[in-house]
Structure 1
Amino acid sequence: MRQYIIRRLLQMIPTLIGISIVVFAITALVPGDYITARNNPNMTVEKAEELRRLYGLDKPDIQRYFIWAGNMLQGKFGDSLQHKKPVLEVINTYVWNSFIIAFCSLVLSWFFAIIAGVFSAKFQYSLLDKLITLFVFVCMSLPSFFIGLLVIKIFALTLNWFPVGGMTTGGLNATGWAYVKDVAYHGFLPILVLTMLSTGSLTRYFRTSMLEVIRQDYIRTARAKGLKERTVIFKHALRNAMIPAITLLGFELPALFGGAIILEHIFIWPGIGQVYLGSISMRDYPFMLGFTIILAALTLLGNMLSDVLYGVADPRIRLK
C-alpha cells in the first residue's frame, strides 16, 4: 500500500505539469488582460503599457509561463491583481465560507441518499419507491438557480423564515456561539438547495447498488437462517452496497473547496466560487491560475484517495 501511494504521488507530478501548461495556454489565448478588463476611460496607451510592464504582462507567453511555474515550485502563487493581496491569502479568506455549505451538504446528502436508496430498493416498485424516484428526478432535472430562487420565494419572501441572502446579519458583529448560529441561520437555504441537487444522483446510485446486492445468494442465505430483516438489510446488504460508493468520497474532495458559483451568486454567499468567477471576468491571471492548479491537485489526490479507500474497504482488491 505504501509503495502504491508513493508511486501515485510521483505520477501526479508530470500530470500537474501537463495541466499547468494547458491551463496557462488557455488563459493566454483569452483576449485582453487585467488592464483592458478594467475599462478605465481615462487610461492612456502609455499608462497601459507601463502597467503591463509593472505586472509582467508585456513578456512573451513562454517566458511568463516559466516565471509563473518557477514561483509555483517555491510555493509563491503571486499576488491577486484584483484584490491586491497574495493569492493564497485571498483563497484562505473565502474558501472556508464555501467549505461550510459544501461539507454540510455532503453529510446531509449522503445521509438522506443512503436512507432513501435502501428503502427504495427494499420496497421496489411500491408507492414509496415511486415517490422517491419522482423526487430524485425532480432534483436532478431542475437547474440549481431555479431551485434556489424557488426556496427563496417560499421560505424567505412568503414565509419569512430565513434571510434572502448573505452569510451574517449586517451590523450584528456576533462572536462565539452567536456567530455560529447566525451563519447556520443564513446558510440553511443554500445548504438545502445544494443537498437537494446532490441527493438525487446519489440516491439512484445507492438504489442500484442495493438492488444488485439484495439479489445475491448470501442475502438469501441470511434470510433462510432466520435473521431479522433489519439485520439482513443494514448489516449485510448495506455494508456491501457501500463498498463501490466509498470511492465516490474521494471525488468529493475538490468539490468541498471548489465553491458553488451559481448558488453563491443567488444567495450572495461570500464564497470562493464568486471570487473565481470575478477573477475570470477581470482577467486576474495569478488568482485564476493558482486556484485552478489547487483544484487540479485536489482532484488528483481525490482520485488516488478513491482507489486507496476501495482497496481498504474490499480486501479482495489488491493495489498494484
Structure 2
Amino acid sequence: MWKFIVRRMLIAVPQLFFLSILVFILASQMPGDPFTGMIDPSITAERLAELREIHGLNDPWYQQYGRWIGNAITGDFGQSFRYKMDVTELIGDRLLNTAGLGVLTLLFSYLIAIPLGIVSGRFNDTWADRAIAGYTYVGFAVPSFIFGLIALFIFGFRLNWFPVSGSVSPGLVTGTFEYYISKIYHMTLPALSLALITTVGTVQYLRSEIIDIKHKEFILTAKAKGASENRVYNKHIFRNSLLPIAAFFGYEITGILGGSVFIERVFSFPGIGDLLISSINNRDYSVVTALLLLSGCLAVIGTMLSDIILSMVDPRIRIK
C-alpha cells in the first residue's frame, strides 16, 4: 500500500510541472495585459511601454515562466495589479470561503445522493425510480449558474429565506459564535444549489451499482438461505455499492471546485471562483495564473486521493 501511495505521489510531480507550463502559457496568451484599460486613458504610449518593460512583460515567455515558477515554489506569486496586495494573501482570504462552501456542498451532495440512489436502485422501474430519473436528467441538462439564478430568485428575492450576496452579515465580530453561524447561513443556498446539480451523477451511478449487484450470485445465494430483504440490502448490496462512491470522493472535490466558479459569481460570494472571473476580466495575470495553478493542483491531488481510497476500501484490488 505504501509503495502505491509513494508511486502515485511521484507521478504527480511531473503532472504538476507540465500543468504549470500550460497554465502560464495560456495566461500569457490572453489578449491585452494588466495595464490595458486599467489606468488613466491620457497616459502616453511611452509610459505604457516603460511599465511593461519594468514588469518584464516584454521578455520571452520562458524567461517570465522561469521567474514566476521560481517565486511560486517559495510561495511568492507576486502582487495583484488590481488589488495592490500580495497574491498569496489575496487568495488566502478567499480560499477559506471556497473551502467552507465546498465542504458544505459535499455534505449536501451525499445527504441527497445516497438516499435517492438507494431508492432508485432498490425500487427500479417504479414511479419513484422514474421521478428520480427525471430529476437527474434535468440536473444533467441545466447548467449550474442557471440553477443558481433560479434558486437565488425564488429563495433569496421572493421568499427572503436566505441572503442574496456576501459571506457574512456586516457588523459581526470575527471568531464569535454568531459570526460562524452567519457564515454557514450565507453558504447554505449556494451550497445547496451546487449540490443539487453535482449530485445527479452520483445518484445514477449508485442506482446502476445497486441494480447490478442485486443480481449477483452471492446475493441470490443469500436470499436462498433465507436472509431477509433488509439484511440483504444493508449488509451486502448497499455496502458493496458504496465502494465506488467512496473512491470518487477525490473527483467530487474537483467537480465542486469547478462548479463553484459560476455559483460564487451568481451569489456574489467572495471565494476563489468569483476572484478568478473578476481577475480574468481585469487582466490581473498574477492572480489568474496562481488560481489556475491552485485549481490544477487540487485536481491532481483529488485524482490521486481517489486512487488511494479505492485501493483501501476495495479488497478485490491488490496493490504491491
CA contact (8 A) 2:109 2:196 kept: yes
Q: What is the DSSP-based 3-state SS (H/G/I as helix, E as strand, rest coil) of the residue aligned with 2:43? A: coil
The one-character-per-residue Cα deviations of 1:216-236 (angstroms, maximum 9, x if unpaired) are 111122222222322211221
1:301 corresponds to: 301
Structure 2: stretches of 5+ with no match in the other structure: none
Q: What is the DSSP-based 3-state SS (H/G/I as helix, E as strand, rest coil) of the residue aligned with 1:93? A: helix
1:196 corresponds to: 196
CA contact (8 A) 1:264 1:274 kept: yes
CA contact (8 A) 1:8 1:304 kept: yes
* CA positional deviation for 1:254: 3.6
Q: 1:147 to 1:259 in 2, by over 3 A?
A: closer
CA contact (8 A) 1:98 1:256 kept: no
* CA positional deviation for 1:270: 0.8
1:252 corresponds to: 252
**The 10-residue stretch of structure 1 (181-190 or 103-112) with the greater mean CA deviation from structure 2:** 181-190
* CA positional deviation for 1:28: 2.1
2:272 corresponds to: 272
CA contact (8 A) 2:105 2:256 kept: no
Q: What is the DSSP-based 3-state SS (H/G/I as helix, E as strand, rest coil) of the residue aligned with 1:316? A: coil
* CA positional deviation for 1:18: 1.5
Tell me, in whole angstroms, the C-alpha distance in 1 between the residues paired with 2:235 and 2:108. Answer: 21
TM-score by length of 1: 0.93
1:314 corresponds to: 314
* CA positional deviation for 1:34: 0.2
Tell me, in whole angstroms, the C-alpha distance in 1 between the residues paired with 2:18 and 2:162. Answer: 46
* CA positional deviation for 1:282: 1.9
Q: What is the DSSP-based 3-state SS (H/G/I as helix, E as strand, rest coil) of the residue aligned with 1:194? A: helix
Tell me, in whole angstroms, the C-alpha distance in 2 between the residues paired with 1:318 and 1:54. Answer: 56
1:211 corresponds to: 211
1:18 corresponds to: 18
1:65 corresponds to: 65
Which residue identity does 1:15 align to in structure 2? Answer: Q
Question: 1:127-276 alignment to 2 at 5 Å?
Answer: 127-173=127-173, 175-255=175-255, 260-276=260-276
Which residue identity does 1:181 align to in structure 2? Answer: I
Q: What is the DSSP-based 3-state SS (H/G/I as helix, E as strand, rest coil) of the residue aligned with 2:318? A: coil
CA contact (8 A) 1:109 1:199 kept: yes
The one-character-per-residue Cα deviations of 1:281-306 (angstroms, maximum 9, x if unpaired) are 22222222222222222222221211
Question: 1:30-45 alignment to 2 at 5 Å?
Answer: 30-38=30-38, 40-45=40-45
TM-score by length of 2: 0.93
* CA positional deviation for 1:204: 0.6
* CA positional deviation for 1:30: 1.9
* CA positional deviation for 1:149: 2.2
* CA positional deviation for 1:115: 1.0
1:126 corresponds to: 126
Which residue identity does 2:29 align to in structure 1? Answer: L
**The 10-residue stretch of structure 1 (95-104 or 245-254) with the greater mean CA deviation from structure 2:** 245-254
* CA positional deviation for 1:129: 0.8
Tell me, in whole angstroms, the C-alpha distance in 2 between the residues paired with 1:95 and 1:106. Answer: 16
Tell me the number of residue pairs that the alignment of Structure 1 and Structure 2 aligns.
320
* CA positional deviation for 1:271: 1.0
Tell me, in whole angstroms, the C-alpha distance in 2 between the residues paired with 1:259 and 1:127. Answer: 30
Which residue identity does 1:112 align to in structure 2? Answer: I
Which residue identity does 2:42 align to in structure 1? Answer: N
CA RMSD of aligned residues (A): 2.0
Structure 1 residue 89 corresponds to structure 2 residue 80: no
Q: What is the DSSP-based 3-state SS (H/G/I as helix, E as strand, rest coil) of the residue aligned with 2:58? A: coil
Tell me, in whole angstroms, the C-alpha distance in 2 between the residues paired with 1:292 and 1:271. Answer: 14
Q: 1:199 to 1:175 in 2, by over 3 A?
A: same
Q: 1:135 to 1:39 in 2, by over 3 A?
A: same
Tell me, in whole angstroms, the C-alpha distance in 2 between the residues paired with 1:162 and 1:75. Answer: 37
2:285 corresponds to: 285
Q: What is the DSSP-based 3-state SS (H/G/I as helix, E as strand, rest coil) of the residue aligned with 2:199? A: helix
Which residue identity does 1:273 align to in structure 2? Answer: G
CA contact (8 A) 2:120 2:132 kept: yes
Tell me, in whole angstroms, the C-alpha distance in 2 between the residues paired with 1:86 and 1:160. Answer: 37
Q: What is the DSSP-based 3-state SS (H/G/I as helix, E as strand, rest coil) of the residue aligned with 1:36? A: coil
Q: What is the DSSP-based 3-state SS (H/G/I as helix, E as strand, rest coil) of the residue aligned with 2:317? A: coil
Q: 1:117 to 1:2 in 2, by over 3 A?
A: same
Question: 1:97-116 alignment to 2 at 5 Å?
Answer: 97-116=97-116
* CA positional deviation for 1:173: 4.7
Q: 1:256 to 1:86 in 2, by over 3 A?
A: farther
CA contact (8 A) 2:194 2:259 kept: no
Q: 1:159 to 1:76 in 2, by over 3 A?
A: closer
CA contact (8 A) 1:37 1:283 kept: no
**The 10-residue stretch of structure 1 (233-242 or 68-77) with the greater mean CA deviation from structure 2:** 68-77
